[in-house]
Each structure stands twice: as C-alpha cells, then as structure tokens.
Chain A
Amino acid sequence: MKSSALKRVDLIFESVNVREILDKTLKRKPEEIIQDVLDSGLRGRGGAGFPTGMKWKYTAAEKNAVKYIVCNADEGEPGTFKDRQILDEVPRKVFGGMAIASKAIGAKIGYVYLRGEYKFLVPKLQEEMEIFHAMMKEMKHDFRLELRLGSGAYICGEESALFESIEGKRGEPRNKPPYPTTSGLFGMPTSINNVETLVYTVMICKYGADYFHKLGTTDSRGSKVFSVSGDTPKAGIYELELGMTVERFVEEFGDGDTKAVQVGGASGFCVPRKKFRDTIIGFEGVPTGGSMKLFNSSRSMYNVLHNYLDFFTEESCGQCTPCRVGCQQLLLGVEAVKRGERNSRYLDELVKLAGTMKISSKCGLGQSVGNAFKSIVENFKEEIIY
C-alpha cells in the first residue's frame, strides 16, 4: 500500500433515514437551511461548480409565487455514469434533496429531468415518487414531483436547454442573463441542481455544514463521486475527498502505463503524464463533473481527440456560429493535418479558433470544446500530426 492512498468517503450512498432528516429540516427556516449549505462550501456537481447555497439564496430572494426546483439527471457527459447509480441506489435521498431545496427557495413543484437512455429507471422512480408524495403529505409540506424524460440530446443537460425541452420546445440554450434563478422553467425563478449536489444537501442537513466543510480544499470543499473508466483495472464509481493530484489518482486507478487522463469528459481537460504531479482535481485545478478517463500508451491521442470532436459536431445544438461551424472546422482541420493536406501550422490556426469558440459561444458546450482540443493538441502535437 502506497502512502498516498486516496481518502474514500461514504456520504452519497450511505444508507440514512431520509424521513428523519426531512422531519427535522423542513421545520427549519429557509434562511437557516440556505446558510448551512453556504457554510458547507458545496459547489454544484454537474460541472460548472456554482455555489449551491448562492443559487438557492438567489432563487429564494425572488418574489414570484411560482418557483421551481429542477433535478438535472440528464447525465450526458461522456464517461459519466454516477448519477445513474445514485438514482438507482438512493433515489429517496435525491428526492429528499429536492424537498429541502423546495423549502429553501419556496417551490411547490419539482421536476426530475431524466436522461432518455435511463428509461429503465422510470418504474422504480415512479414507485419511489409515490412513497415520497405520501411522505410529503404526512409532513404537510406542499411539494410535488414530476418526471420528464430527455430524448438523447447532450445539449439538453445544459440548464436553459433543459428548460426549453421540458416546456416542449426544441432544446436550445437561451441567452443569459436572465439566469435561471430569476427566469428559468416557464419563465419562473428556478434552482436547477445536479443529482449528486442534491444528495449532498441532504447529508449536510444530517451531519452539519462543518462536517462537509472539513473535507477537501479551500476551493473544493467536500467529496465527489467519480466515474472511472478507460485503461484501468478498477473501472467504476468511487466517492473520494476532493483535492488530490492527478498523480495520486493515477497511482490508485492507473494500469502502470497511464499516459494521460481526461478529466471532466469531452468538455474537460486532458492532463498528460508530465503534468500529473502538479495538477489538482478540483476547482483550483481541473474541475470535473465526475468523468475520469485514463489512457495508456496503446491509445492514439489523435483518435481520442477525433472522437471528442465527432461528438461535439453532432451534439452542438447548432444555433450559434462559433460552435456549430467551429466544431466542424476543428474536426475537419485535424483530419486534414493528419492526411498532410494542411501543414502543422494550421493546428495553430485551429487553436486560435478554439480560443474564439471559448469566449464567443452562446453556452457552455461551445465554450468548453476548446478545453479538450487545446490540451490534447498542445500536449500531443506529434500524435496529431504524424
């Protein structure tokens, strides 16, 4: 056993009495709940990492009579499969988190937006919802859940596209501002949280803000569920304390020949071996919604990049120029360089283009294509060209 063993945590899947936690929490004042979540330092686990307590605070501050809490269970990021496990194993905790949020922000209706491919979970979730609704009734907490299914578009995981989708429209991101906390689902103030985020709020209410706050680092408090895949003998789901370096992670999960780790899926960053030691997994380094993919030396990083770009050219919603056309240009561009039809200097042109996509695209999708592109092209230039 190495000295640098990772710290395993068991909060998400820990079996707890949700009813007891809710009994206690729903009697508290919204401000107190929000203060606890703020104090815990919890940041969103869906990828963007916005402080959850702030999100609730902003939504709570809106005066509208109708507000919504939405659970983002679209889990579309390549290499992420933790929300599925959470929904399968501890759905009651997810709904519990939504009940807590509803109390905090003043929502009477919650939506669960489930990835279309997770249809098999529907019977279980519906059953669980019935139990949940009965529980809400007993507790005299006016709150109902609705289940909605996606149709396989990655972009519908982006919060405003998700709202459009629930509203029955084409899943296209909206302009921001206004942000969901002022104008979200059906134009009403909405807090949208990832599945995992919601479960953490339950555990924060159980163990207190301090307990969570003590875990992790200044920028990345608490723990996080990772979906580990790729060239690893230990593919699977692990809850780990935040703040470890990629090096420690690879020590634990690598196959001894890891040359790169893609942190955060297609929209995340590729960390090459030479940077393992100095790169922290978390908001101060490379953030991740949970996807951790390891590549060993048998993998062609050109293929890896090609794969991601292929994904983005298909999954961009297509409305804005930098992303729709930019993705195609990046994909065709690396192909042209590979075939020798364009010289290697064209890669520099493309890196500049990726920079423009990052700052001028309408939503997080287009803004993050450049992450994988730049980090792979800059670190594995030879593999792309030859």
Chain B
Amino acid sequence: MVNLTINGLHISVKEGTTILDAARKLNFKVPTLCNHPDLCVAGNCRVCVVEQLSAKTLVASCATPVTENMQILTNSLKVRTARKHIIELLLSEHKADCTKCYKNGFCELQSLANEYSVGDHVYIDLVPIHAHKIDKTSPSITKDDSKCIRCQRCVRTCAELQGVNALTVANKGKEMKISSFFDKPMHEVICTNCGQCINRCPTGALVERNYIEEVWEEILDPNTHVVVQTAPAVRIGLGEALGLNPGQRVTGKMVAALKRLGFNSVLDTDFTADLTIIEEGTELLGRLKRALVDKDPTVKLPMTTSCSPGWIKFIEHAFPEFLDNVSTCKSPQQMFGALAKTYYAQKKGLDPKKVVSVSIMPCTAKKYEADRPEMRSSGFKDVDYVLTTRELARMIKQAGINFDMLEDMKYDSIMGQSTGAAVIFGATGGVMEAALRTVYEIVTGREVPFNGLNIIPVRGMDGVREASILIENCKPEWAFLNGVEVKCVVAHGLANARQVMKNVRDGKAVYHFIEVMACPGGCLGGGGQPIPTNEQIRKKRTEAIYAEDMGMPIRKSHENPEITAIYKDFLGEPNGHKSHELLHTHYTVRRSY
C-alpha cells in the first residue's frame, strides 16, 4: 500500500493506483476528457493536471501512479489557472456552435466549460483558420473535425477495442488531426460503422447520422403506413437514454411511446430473431450433415453468425477468404424489413409501396446495412430508416411524452410475438445460446442440459469464450451427430473477433460455430446505445436482458407460434425457396485498407 495526502486528507491505496483514482476514492472529482475507463491511458488533454508539492511541473493525474508520501492538491490556484487556460485553449479550436449542435447538452467539453465559467473567449478563434469540412459520406457516422478536441478516444477505441484502425492520427503540430487512410472520406475506408467511437467521443465531432426529421415526415404523412421494429437491446437502453438508471427494462413503456409517436404498427425485431434461429440453426445442421455424412469437401465450417453488420463489414475487409463461412442469413433487422413489405403487407392488405419500414436499433452499422444494395429483396428498400436508441429517445422528448408515466402496452400483431431466446440476442453470447437451445432440441428431442435453459458458459464479459456441448442419443434422422462434441466460441469487440479468426486461419483452434458481435458487450453496448458506457453499465444492461428472458412465457425460438404460422402460411420450410429469396444474402470482398 502507498500512503499519500490529497488536499490534506490522508489515503492509503494499492501500488499502481493513479492519482485520479485515489482522488476519486476520497470523493474529489478531477475533470477529465481524454480519459475513458474502456481505453488505455492517454494523458493528452491535460485537464486532469494536479499539483504535486515539490514537483517542478503539474502532473496529469490520470497518467501518474501514486508514490509514497506524495502530497497532491487538486484545486490549488496553480491548478485552477492552468485548467482554465487549457479549457479555454480547447474552446479556441472547437467550433462552439452549441445551440445548433447535435450533442448540445451531452457534450463533456460544454459541461466543463460551464463548470469553470469560461467562454469569454480570451484567445483567438482558430476555427476559421483550419476550415475543416464535415464528412457526411457515411450513412452511419458524421465526422466534424471542427468539433474535435484531439483527445484520441476514438483512435484508441478503433485500435484497442475494435482492432480496425480506421481512425488514426495524422500530421503534427497545428495540422494534427484525426484522419483516415490517406484522409479518405469515411465511406471509402475500412470503418465498420460500429459507432463505438461515437459512444466515446466527448464532443460532437463524431455523431450518428440522424434520420429523425425524415421519420417524422413519414409518420405525419397520412398516406403512408409506417411500421416500426425494435431490436432486443433497445428495450434495455431506452430508459437510460431518457434519464433512468442503467439496466432498467422498459419494454412496455417503449411500445406505448412508439404508439403515441404515431407509428401505425409497433412490431418486434425479436420475432425475426426467432426466425433467424430457425434459419441459421437449419443452415448449421445442413453444413454439419454435408461435412459429416456427405463428406462434401466444399462445405465451409466453422460457420459464423451474421446478425452484426459491423462484424460483416469487418470480415469483408479483413478476412475475405472466410466469407463463405458466414451464415447466409440476413440479420433480424433485414429479415424483418423484407417481410414487412411482403408477408406483413399481404396479411394486412396493404400496398407495399405505401409501407414504410423503420427500425430502432442499438446500432449505427444497421444504418449502413439497410443501405446495402442487396437489401432490397422485397422489391423495395427493405428497411427505409434506421434510428438509434438515442434518436428514439430524442423523438420521445420532442413529442412531449412523459415516458416515466406511461402504462405498459403490448406489441401489435403480426410479427410482434417473440421469445426469451430472441431477447438475449442483445447480449454477447445470446445468439449462441438461443441457437443451442433450439438446435439441441431439434436433434435430440430434449432440452439443452443446462439448468433452466441458461447456458452459463457462453455468457459473461470475457472477450473470447469457448464452450462445447456433447450430442448424444439423437433422434434417428440426426444419428450422424451421435457423439459429436459441438465446439463453439463467442467473441465480442472486433479486436477479439480478429484474434479468433486468426486462430481459425492458422489452425490453432477448431470450431463448428462462431458468434461474433462487433461491439463490446454485444448489441447492448452498441454504437447507438446511451452514452456514457463502461463495463459496469454494460453488465447492468446484461443482467436486465437475462431477466427479460426469464420473464418471457416462451424461451425457445422454435416454440414461437407466430414462427410456426409464418412457415405454414408463407415461407414453406426453413432454408426453403422463399426463405432463400427473402431471408438470405451474400457478401462482398472488400480491400484491406
């Protein structure tokens, strides 16, 4: 233990603790900007500087470990003066058009400026000198360098958590900025659109492309029929975005709010999550059969999931040789979109031209996914608009809805019914668990051998989690699987995904089934979820999602009655002709830079 004093108070902390954390233990708040609990220490914004008695310079409290008998002042005159100067410097290079900014009220620089009552613009305004252009080329992410304070949280996110390195530092001195490969626009680089950078940007430099106005126009147009689908993780994140504590489940209130907003029909992506399990599970069993029985050398195993569009774009860039290993199933969002303008329109007697399909997603990559040219199998753009959890929260506020006071409501029908297996899609490991619950039962006729259907080994926050399940006493038609130990792996965060794929490529690991979610924590930590995020918050959201599962009357996808009905009435059989037409897709090889 190391002993020190902070503002005269004694504290004893573990060796290696930073001054910042020691100060927090004593309930002294030291402001920070570049620091983020998910990322390595940068120490570049310098707003966290504190005075260490006897040292010549101030020290960055986030980057400096405590030493024995250190005497620290967090609010001395020297510290206050420097800190004010630093905040003013940041403001001088930051385009402070706060009232017009999408991040107004959510900006860390803005609140710091308010706290320190700066803003009388002592220094020369550098914004016109640099004349940065706003990059709006990506359907998911808007990048405005004039709001950037060079804290490099986004660079570290893209490198450390995602292993993508689409964002990087370029130039030096006054020209230093956050750039991309050859300063190309965001839609031309290897950005996966995951939006993790947005979740960590302290200002409005990186924000989602928002489609709020477009959606309002559709809702308020009397000639359209607007259906909305809500992804599993949104019902966990929305409350947080509206000021509730992390991990509060607000499914019923969310449905009520969407109805109040004026959507014609409030439906559930969870329905197509269940459908995904049937399609993907069938595909996996088909691949296993071709490999084990037909000895077909062309069959690709391991098979990977395909619901995370950040993961899809990543593998297209980084491991194009593995594209045939990716399940051909569209993501639940896109399955839903294709069905909304076919099955749903038919059942409701609607002209599909008049159906507008909107999805509410915890994700920014979904915006890009909806724009893919191959996502038009209904004959129209399958999903017209994608809004993030944050955008929905904003619409609810704009509409003057008192969210807290809403009475719970139920999803509309058809395509509104779902299961506990579908809702856990929102957590890392959830697709794997849902798939195993169904596949195991199809093959053996028995429930998965885990207490209460809870497949604990695939759950949790470790970046890569392996599990295997021994198949025994199969039904006669699946006898070839007797004694097979199905090997699975779950990865979340693309840096972990890269490691798993490298191991597969180099023959260091052998699996049958791989689940990848691009975002840390899975969708509940998605790039469209409430800000801030950290592991503790993501754990709270995870607990909530498993509680939601436990609360569902049906917890296995194949038992969803609406699923049985859609195969009977419309699709025919899993992986059948119609399914292939509407619910499956293909991928594109992309360059590695």
Contacts and interface: CB of A to CB of B under 8 A. Distances in A.
Interface residues of B, number: 39
Given A153-B172, A314-B174, A319 B152 contact: yes
B85 A316 contact: no
B78 interface: yes
Contacts of A177: 64-65
B489 interface: no
A325 B92 contact: yes
Nearest to A153: B172
B44 interface: yes
Given A315-B173, A349-B122, A362 B65 contact: no
B93 A325 contact: yes
Contacts of A320: 43-46
A341 to B, nearest CB: 9
A336 interface: yes
13 contacts: A314-B172, A315-B172, A318-B169, A318-B172, A319-B152, A320-B44, A327-B174, A329-B126, A333-B123, A359-B58, A360-B49, A360-B82, A362-B60
B9 interface: no
B141 to A, nearest CB: 23
Interface in A347-386: 349, 352-353, 356, 358-362, 367
B77 interface: no
A327 B126 CA distance: 12
A322 B171 CA distance: 17
Interface string B26-53: 0000000000000001111111010000
Given A322-B46, A360-B57, 19 more contacts: A175-B64, A314-B172, A315-B173, A316-B174, A316-B176, A319-B44, A320-B43, A320-B44, A321-B44, A321-B86, A321-B149, A321-B150, A326-B89, A329-B92, A333-B123, A353-B89, A353-B123, A359-B78, A362-B43
A316 B173 contact: yes
A77 B129 CA distance: 28
A155 interface: yes
Interface of B: 41-47, 49, 56-58, 60, 63-65, 78, 81-82, 85-86, 89-90, 92-93, 122-124, 126, 129, 149-150, 152, 169, 171-176
Contact of A333 (B46, B124, B175): B124
Contacts of B85: 322, 352-353, 356, 360
Contact of A313 (B56, B63, B174): B174
Contacts of A326: 89
A317 B126 CA distance: 18
Contacts of A344: none
Contacts of B56: 359
A321 B46 contact: yes
Q: Which of A155, A315, A352, A356 has the most CB of B within 10 A?
A: A356
Interface SS of chain B: loop
A80 B46 CA distance: 31
Contact of B176 (A175, A324, A333): A324
Interface SS of chain A: helix
A312 to B, nearest CB: 8
B174 A318 contact: yes
A325 B152 contact: no
B173 A362 contact: no
Contacts of A333: 123-124
Contacts of A321: 44-47, 86, 89-90, 149-150
A170 interface: yes
A296 interface: no
Contact of A329 (B47, B89, B149, B173): B89
A217 interface: no
B46 A318 contact: no
A332 interface: yes
A35 interface: no
Nearest to B125: A332
A367 B407 CA distance: 60
Contacts of A349: 122
Interface in A60-83: none
A329 B81 CA distance: 17
B294 to A, nearest CB: 48
B173 A175 contact: no
Nearest to B122: A349
A322 B176 contact: no
A328 interface: yes
Contact of A325 (B42, B64, B65, B126): B126
